[in-house]
Structure 1
């Protein structure tokens, strides 16, 4: 279950990504953190609620790094998602999406566009696919993974024996990252932008309860798992997010640009690993896809 402390950690990671080295806490916030610490040490921990801190009193280090100039006085909002506890999975996802529509931690950044694109597919799916952020086509249609990349993903799922509607598809960031004079061009979301929305992804995983997650591309792997480096180095092994096994593979848009059969085979091998994790049958014909002749 998502805890307020998880939302606090997401916020702090976002502040660290901005280069902030210290935050200011008032007496109420310090008391809250002490209570969290006390409850964590107790035999049965009970999560405390998040807080809004507005009166700076004491600086607390976010990370071990050289001292910087004192930060200007700012209001620290610790984001907490009111995860829907009742209703079907579909109703709970719908309520979560409604909450994301005007999500202040993302809105206040000023670097994301205003159209929210949440998720699509079956909210009780065994397989969850996570990308980075909506692009031009996704913003236009209000659905993740549409356009050429979405069609490529559909083709991959079809080869697995799955329809798009049988899976749950989401993104780390729920709004399209903005650029100056933006038209159809897209950009990678920043760590700060990913941190602002990560609590939603965590809650989606709690609601959907997938048996397996596939992170599509290096940015999704970075936001979901904290990994950095090349996808080629990330793939080929299992990771974990909130107790759910995660596989990293290339983004479908990368396959559209690549002419390498080896890259296509790599993605297919990752998907077969996911199929095996889900106890899906794999035919000899499927195993032979994209093998070098």
Structure 2
């Protein structure tokens, strides 16, 4: 893939390393290993095969079938079925990351979330007891940013640091997100709505040991996120990570297949991209995330051209 000088500059701002693959040298030792046996070796084997035959022709002719049977019995290598030892792997994987409780304890959600203003919504999230995550959290993570931002970032769930500080996207993933936003002229610091973002997670409480969110937990938290979208009224939403994408788009398709397209949620354009935590593990995909940012920026510019002033929100604030 070839990049323009401008794109390379942007990638450097995002901290993209030089990840272009280097082709390994051609490996030729296989040709040496595959060399045919020497004629001397073949000639040496031939007479040995003929010499035993004349010595005891009748006896060995009768005995020949018997060894064939005895050799044929071990031939069906019965340990082959034992090669299906990957059986323990599925047992280990659920015990590792996917070891959530068999039953999720659900409680009632606050009534009237769809009509709440910002103060009421914050209070509802802070005191939410709608699922068992409320028992293990340090505090809920409501969200942060400009409440009338053009951009809205949707993540997956709070991690350990977010749970302690009560803020979304902190730590190394937050630092990478800041660099990504700066590359397209955005910031999380105090700024006008056109340059700032509003950030929220699908889940407002941290799952124990940072395990994956469970469907009932996502369903219980979903009304909070949708109400935040309705209050912010962003021009574009950037969904980061598999669980954010599945929650917003109601799709089980792989994230890679949903990228590069403009989706709609409640009339708001949604762009799919990778979570910064994933990009820290797979830095080569930062280039793909840059493409997603560029697409989101194009959608935003089109929205501003079509409606320079957004219609006033009729919801109470």
Global fold match (TM > 0.5): yes
Aligned match for 1:158, one of 182, 185, 197? 182
Task: List aligned pairs for 1:9-158, cutoff 5 A.
Answer: 77=108, 80-83=111-114, 92-107=117-132, 113-158=137-182
| Structure whose CA Rg is larger | 2
Segment drifting more, 266-275 vs 229-238? 229-238
- Higher helix share goes to which structure? 2
| Deviation per residue, 1:240-280 (Å, 9 max, x gap) | 111111011000011111131xx111111111111111118
Asked if the contact 1:84/1:96 (under 8 Å) is kept, the reply is no
Partner secondary structure for residue 129 of structure 1: strand
CA distance in 2, matches of 1:75, 1:228: 24
1:46 corresponding residue in structure 2 = none
TM-score by length of structure 2 reads: 0.56
Please say if 1:272 is aligned against 2:297. no
CA distance in 1, matches of 2:119, 2:276: 26
| CA 1:153–1:100: 2 relative to 1, 3 Å | same
Aligned match for 2:242, one of 213, 218, 231? 218
CA distance in 2, matches of 1:93, 1:190: 27
| CA 1:224–1:80: 2 relative to 1, 3 Å | farther
CA distance in 2, matches of 1:221, 1:146: 20
Partner secondary structure for residue 145 of structure 1: coil
Partner secondary structure for residue 175 of structure 1: coil
Structure 1 unaligned blocks of 5 or more: 1-73, 86-91, 180-185, 281-293
Structure 2 unaligned blocks of 5 or more: 1-104, 190-195, 303-317
Partner secondary structure for residue 130 of structure 1: strand
Please say if 1:178 is aligned against 2:189. no
Partner secondary structure for residue 247 of structure 1: strand
TM-score by length of structure 1 reads: 0.61
CA distance in 2, matches of 1:121, 1:130: 12
- Higher strand share goes to which structure? 1
CA distance in 1, matches of 2:299, 2:169: 23
- State the shift of 1:98 in Å: 1.1
1:205 corresponding residue in structure 2 = 229
Task: Could you list the structure 1 runs, at least 4 aligned residues long, displaced by more than 2 angstroms after superposition.
Answer: 74-85, 92-95, 109-114
CA distance in 1, matches of 2:139, 2:125: 10
| CA 1:77–1:236: 2 relative to 1, 3 Å | same
CA distance in 2, matches of 1:143, 1:154: 14
